[in-house]
C-alpha cells in the first residue's frame, strides 16, 4: 500500500470539494489533494446540463458543467493535486484515509486536515415505502438524469414523477424536451419542494400538471412499469380512501429528497445532526472530530450551488487556518433553531470570528410565510435581523452577520438580561444564538435592523 502525506485532503470533487480545495490552497495550505470516485471533476454538476447556476455568485447564468468548469480551472491554477476514479474506503479519527483506484491500487493518505465533501444521495423507493410490484422503470430522478445527459439513453416514454424536488422538476422538462410525455408530478406536501422558478419553467411552461397533497400508493407492472395508482392525502399525509385513480405510464421517477452521504463521516466518529443528517459543524466548518471539516450537501441539503460554494470556501479557509496554526481560540456559542426555523448551520460559532469577519448562517424555514423578519436572538434580545418578503422550506435562507455586529459584550448582556427576565442564573449550556422567524411588525421596538 502506497503512503501519501498532505496538509489537506478533500473527499469529493463536486462544487463543494472543488471550492474547498482551491480555497484551502489559496489560504496557505501546503499540499492539497482532491479525491473523487468519478472519471472527471465536477461531481453531479456534470449531469446538470440545464442553466441557472451561478446567478448569485458569478452574476452569470451558467449550466452545471460551465459552473464546474469555472471552479475546475481555478482548482488547477491554484496547484491542487487531483486523483480521479478514486474511491475512499475509510476515514479514521486520526485523519488517515484509505483509498483505492485502478492505477495506484490501495493508498494510505495521512492528512493534517480532511474536508468531507461527499455530497448527497437520493432517497429511493424503499425510504418512503411505495407498495406494489418491483418492475424496471422506477428510477430516482438523478439516475434518470445521468442516463439521459451522460449516457445518452431514454429511461422511458410516459412518465409520472413523485416529488416536486428540483431534480424531479428539471427532469420533467428534460424528458418532455426529449420527446417523453410527463403525465403528472405529484407532491405529498401541500406546497412544492422545489424552487419557484423551476415550478414555472419546468412544469407550467411545459403544461405538466402538478398535484399537491397527492402521492403514489401503488406501482403496477411485472416486468416494466405499466402504471401507478395515485391518491390525495389528508393533513396527516395519509391517502384519502376513494380519492385514488390510475395513471398509465412506463416510468416512475422519484424526486423525494436527498440524504447527506455520511457513511465515511460515521466511520470517522463525526457527530451528526438528526435534523440535517449531516455533521455538527463550527463556523470554521470543522466537525466534532478535530481536523475533519465538512461542507456542501454532506452537511445539509442545499438548493443553490452558489451557497454550496460559499460554504466550501469557509471550510477551505478553516482547514487552512488549522494547518497554518491560525485557528480561532476562545469562547464559542451554540446556535439553535427557534420558531419557524427547522435547523441552523453552523451549529457553533467562535465569538472571536463574530468580531473579526462576516459570519454566514444557513437555515431553512419550517413552513412558508410572507413579510417576516429572520432574527438572531439571545433569550428574547434581538441582536441582528433581516427582512424577508417570502420564506419557503424549499429555499435555503442565508444570513450574513457582518464583522463586529454582534460583540462578546452584546451576547453577555443579552444573556444576563434573559437570565434576569426568567429569574434564573442563565441557561445551563451558556448562551445560545437562536434564529427565529417572526412576523414583520412584532419587534418594531428593538434589535438591530439589517
DSSP single-letter state for residue 159: E
Q: Which one, 136 or 442, has the nearer CB to another protein?
A: 136
Q: Interface with another protein includes 237 (CB under 8 A)?
A: no
Q: Pairing relation of β-strands 105-116 and 292-294? A: parallel
Q: Interface with another protein includes 54 (CB under 8 A)?
A: no
Bridge partners (DSSP) of residue 387 are: 373
Positive or negative, the CA dihedral 183, 187, 193, 196 is positive
Q: Interface with another protein includes 157 (CB under 8 A)?
A: yes
Question: What part of residues 274-293 is at the interface with another protein (CB under 8 A)?
Answer: none
Minimum separation from the CB atom of position 373 to another protein (A): 34
* In contact, 21 and 32? CB cutoff 8 Å: yes
Question: What part of residues 315-334 is at the interface with another protein (CB under 8 A)?
Answer: none
Q: Interface with another protein includes 178 (CB under 8 A)?
A: yes
Q: Interface with another protein includes 135 (CB under 8 A)?
A: yes
Give the chain's radius of gyration (CA, Å). 23
Q: Interface with another protein includes 271 (CB under 8 A)?
A: no
Q: Interface with another protein includes 101 (CB under 8 A)?
A: yes
Q: Interface with another protein includes 121 (CB under 8 A)?
A: yes
Q: Interface with another protein includes 425 (CB under 8 A)?
A: no
* In contact, 29 and 319? CB cutoff 8 Å: yes
Q: Interface with another protein includes 70 (CB under 8 A)?
A: no
* Residue 200 Cα to chain centre, angstroms: 22
379: left (phi over 0), alpha (psi -120 to 50) or beta: left
Q: Interface with another protein includes 142 (CB under 8 A)?
A: yes
Q: Interface with another protein includes 179 (CB under 8 A)?
A: yes
Q: Interface with another protein includes 390 (CB under 8 A)?
A: no
Given candidates 26, 140, 213, 255, which one binds another protein under the rule CB under 8 A? 140
Bridge partners (DSSP) of residue 110 are: 5, 96
Q: Interface with another protein includes 89 (CB under 8 A)?
A: yes
Query: CA 420, CA 415: separation in Å to the nearest integer?
Result: 9
Minimum separation from the CB atom of position 271 to another protein (A): 16
List all residues 6 or more positions away from 442 whose beta carbon is below 8 Å from its beta carbon. Answer: 373
Give the H/E segment covering residue 336.
strand 332-337
Query: CA 50, CA 61: separation in Å to the nearest integer?
Result: 10
Q: Interface with another protein includes 122 (CB under 8 A)?
A: yes
| Positions that interact with another protein (CB under 8 A) | 1, 37, 50-51, 63, 85, 87, 89, 98, 100-106, 121-122, 124-127, 129, 131-136, 139-140, 142-143, 146-148, 150-157, 176-180, 217-220, 222-224, 239, 250, 263
Amino acid at each position: 500500500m502506497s503512503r501519501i502525506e498532505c496538509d489537506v485532503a478533500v473527499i469529493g470533487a463536486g462544487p463543494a470539494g472543488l471550492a474547498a480545495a482551491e480555497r484551502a490552497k489559496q489560504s496557505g495550505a501546503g499540499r492539497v489533494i482532491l479525491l473523487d470516485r468519478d472519471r472527471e471533476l465536477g461531481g453531479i454538476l456534470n449531469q446538470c446540463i440545464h442553466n441557472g447556476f451561478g446567478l448569485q455568485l458569478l452574476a452569470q447564468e451558467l449550466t452545471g458543467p460551465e459552473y464546474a468548469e469555472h471552479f475546475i480551472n481555478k482548482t488547477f491554477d491554484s496547484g491542487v493535486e487531483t486523483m480521479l476514479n478514486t474511491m475512499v474506503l475509510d476515514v479514521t479519527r486520526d485523519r488517515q484515509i484509505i483509498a483505492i483506484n485502478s492505477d495506484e491500487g490501495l493508498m494510505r493518505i495521512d492528512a493534517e486536515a480532511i474536508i468531507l465533501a461527499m455530497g448527497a444521495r437520493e432517497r429511493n423507493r424503499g425510504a418512503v415505502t411505495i407498495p406494489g410490484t418491483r418492475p424496471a422503470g422506477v428510477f430516482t430522478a438523478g439516475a434518470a438524469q445521468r442516463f439521459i445527459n451522460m449516457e445518452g439513453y431514454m429511461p422511458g416514454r410516459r412518465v409520472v414523477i413523485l416529488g416536486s424536488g428540483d431534480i424531479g422538476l428539471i427532469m420533467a422538462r428534460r424528458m418532455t424536451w426529449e420527446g417523453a410525455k410527463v403525465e403528472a408530478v405529484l407532491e405529498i406536501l401541500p406546497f412544492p419542494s422545489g424552487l419557484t422558478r423551476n415550478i414555472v419553467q419546468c412544469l407550467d411552461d411545459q403544461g405538466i400538471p402538478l398535484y399537491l397533497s397527492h402521492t403514489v400508493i401503488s406501482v403496477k407492472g411485472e416486468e416494466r412499469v405499466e402504471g401507478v395508482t395515485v391518491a390525495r392525502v389528508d393533513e396527516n399525509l395519509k391517502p384519502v380512501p376513494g380519492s385514488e385513480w390510475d395513471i398509465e405510464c412506463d416510468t416512475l421517477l422519484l424526486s423525494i429528497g436527498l440524504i447527506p452521504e455520511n457513511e465515511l463521516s460515521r466511520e470517522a466518529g463525526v457527530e451528526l445532526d438528526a435534523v440535517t443528517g449531516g455533521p455538527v459543524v463550527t463556523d470554521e466548518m470543522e466537525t466534532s472530530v478535530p481536523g475533519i471539516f465538512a461542507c456542501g450537501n454532506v452537511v445539509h441539503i442545499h438548493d443553490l450551488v452558489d451557497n454550496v460554494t460559499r460554504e466550501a470556501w469557509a471550510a477551505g479557509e478553516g482547514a487552512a487556518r488549522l494547518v497554518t496554526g491560525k485557528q480561532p481560540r476562545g469562547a464559542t456559542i451554540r446556535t439553535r433553531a427557534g420558531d419557524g426555523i427547522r435547523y441552523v448551520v453552523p451549529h457553533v460559532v467562535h465569538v472571536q470570528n463574530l468580531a473579526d469577519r462576516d459570519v454566514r448562517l444557513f437555515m431553512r424555514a419550517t413552513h412558508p410565510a410572507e413579510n417576516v423578519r429572520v432574527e438572531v436572538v439571545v433569550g428574547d434580545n434581538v441582536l441582528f435581523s433581516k427582512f424577508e418578503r417570502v420564506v419557503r422550506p424549499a429555499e435555503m435562507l442565508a444570513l450574513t452577520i457582518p464583522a463586529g455586529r454582534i460583540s462578546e459584550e452584546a451576547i453577555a448582556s443579552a444573556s444576563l438580561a434573559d437570565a434576569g427576565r426568567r429569574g434564573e442564573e442563565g441557561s445551563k449550556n451558556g448562551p445560545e444564538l437562536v434564529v427565529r422567524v417572526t412576523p414583520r411588525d412584532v419587534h418594531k421596538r428593538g434589535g438591530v435592523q439589517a
